[in-house]
A and B are shown apart, each in its own frame.
Chain A
């Protein structure tokens, strides 16, 4: 990293233009798992998402980064069909969302801190219900397999509300994987997990992506996690895409060693200062 006199990294003038972002948005070889074009979401006068476009290649892991209120959750919610866009287009696995949602919802799944599973039901009961909703074959075996993979066995018959935060996250992940989705949308997948378990979950996600050629879009504040897992990073700020590239190229462009430093640069508008 280049150091300036104060010891801080000096970001060069490599501002990402709208044309660059548009070019990268289209830069996906083969069929896209997610194709978002000119997506806008207005909540009264607030532009939660402001004309964003991107395509995500099948079998890739993409990180959605941004501070609170950047528009990550709204973007993911629009991809899932839980929030209707004000304008723009979303296609998921070749289906238009929300018009053709039911053609692809069985091939998707998600995990988010904004939802919970029924707390009085045991983990096994919850997984059974979601397995049935997703029409999973050989459900008993699938639950046993997930319990082994995600280390749920010891509390499989415990009420979900009596689990620790880390255990709940693992159960939510098990629910998200119950149908072996082609597209997995994750919002803070390792929040509340101790470093060992978080690392183990990341390994599991990497393995899952490789073995199933699954596409994963994850929103995270854990920069190390994004660096390690993601082929590509989309940085959002105030509803707009600030940058969109591989972690290495983004770090090089900002002349930073870590994504966390890049995140801080973007959040605090340092790039503009350095460039001016």
Chain B
């Protein structure tokens, strides 16, 4: 074997993960529309919901007491949604540029590829959500970071869910080509009504509450309301969410590998089109 290459092909390689993160970083920095897109929707969201929160807190005693639970819910929802989009869009970039064959033929392993997508989802999230939280603070007086330690647990649970959905959606696109691209953009919205972002779980019919409690974000949004409205931190909810997230993530990774294998069986990796 040529001495030009290091023997770094066994195990998980940080070097290769780093290379992929660099690839997406180069792309992001070379395209101002991509950067603008990251902050555009979160900014619109916070402005709209911030004014709504201001209005209803003036007219409703409950929302005045709820102290920014709407804005908090909007920001946490954005972490969930943008986390998945950040993951999936980086994946789609490979499909759009017809680069997937190059990557699959390189020593890059699927787990390294997914880890690099997760890192990029965090980077893209930071670019979009940090300005959003600062706007909430300066324009609507809601200090997102005052949530403190629970915020870290909320964040971790939501980002894990977003990665699970991202891994699953990417597997579907891998197997079915860009014809399945719309799934990437819409899949998380299927979670939205059941995750009880803006209302408590008890609003749902009893049978639907069982479905809601199967979703980790439900625990996070219930936990947030408990903290902001009742000033009680529910550690039990966070632990339950972590357990479900672990199962969800393992399942979505297994499904991704199965879909990758199916794509190789059907020859979809060379085309990548519709």
Contacts and interface: CB of A to CB of B under 8 A. Distances in A.
Interface string B240-274: 00000000000000000000010011110111000
Contacts of B16: 132-133, 135
Contacts of B107: 102, 105-106, 133-135
A118 B97 contact: yes
A77 B264 CA distance: 9
A235 B261 CA distance: 29
Given A121-B26, A180-B4, A110 B105 contact: yes
A238 interface: no
Given A84-B265, A121-B27, A129-B19, A115 B109 contact: no
B57 interface: no
Interface string A213-256: 00000000000000000000000000000000000000000000
Interface in A51-95: 73-74, 77, 80-84
B149 interface: no
Category for how many chain A residues contact B? 35 or more
Nearest to B27: A120
Nearest to A118: B97
Interface residues of B, number: 44
A73 B270 CA distance: 9
Nearest to B102: A115
Given A115-B100, A116-B97, A175-B102, A121 B15 contact: no
Contacts of B7: 135
A116 to B, nearest CB: 4
B264 A83 contact: yes
B5 interface: yes
Contact of B30 (A84, A120, A132): A120
A179 interface: yes
Interface in A147-163: 159
Contacts of B102: 115, 117, 130, 175
B2 interface: yes
A118 B27 contact: yes
B2 A179 contact: yes
A31 B27 CA distance: 43
Nearest to B270: A114
Given A82-B105, A108-B105, A135-B15, A43 B267 contact: yes
Contacts of B65: none
B8 A102 contact: no
Given A105-B107, A212-B2, A114 B98 contact: yes
A180 B264 contact: no
A129 B26 CA distance: 10
A98 B23 CA distance: 26
A102 B111 CA distance: 13
B101 interface: yes
A137 interface: yes
A197 interface: no
Contact of A105 (B1, B4, B106): B106
Q: Which of A43, A82, A159 has the most CB of B within 10 A?
A: A82
A107 interface: yes
A102 B104 CA distance: 10
A144 to B, nearest CB: 13
Interface string B15-29: 110111011001100
A17 B16 CA distance: 47
A69 to B, nearest CB: 13
A132 B101 contact: no
Contact of A114 (B3, B261, B271): B271
Nearest to B22: A129
15 contacts: A43-B267, A74-B267, A82-B269, A82-B270, A108-B105, A116-B97, A117-B102, A118-B99, A121-B23, A125-B26, A132-B18, A134-B107, A137-B4, A179-B2, A182-B1
Q: Which 5 interchain pairs have the tightest Cβ spacing?
A: A132-B19, A115-B101, A180-B2, A135-B8, A135-B6
Interface of B: 1-10, 13, 15-16, 18-20, 22-23, 26-27, 30-31, 93, 97-109, 261, 264-267, 269-271
Interface of A: 41, 43, 73-74, 77, 80-84, 98, 102-103, 105-110, 112, 114-121, 125, 128-130, 132-138, 142, 159, 175, 179-182, 212
Given A106-B9, A121-B23, A121-B27, 18 more contacts: A82-B104, A82-B105, A82-B270, A102-B9, A106-B1, A114-B270, A115-B102, A117-B99, A118-B23, A119-B97, A128-B22, A129-B22, A129-B23, A133-B103, A135-B5, A135-B7, A159-B30, A180-B4
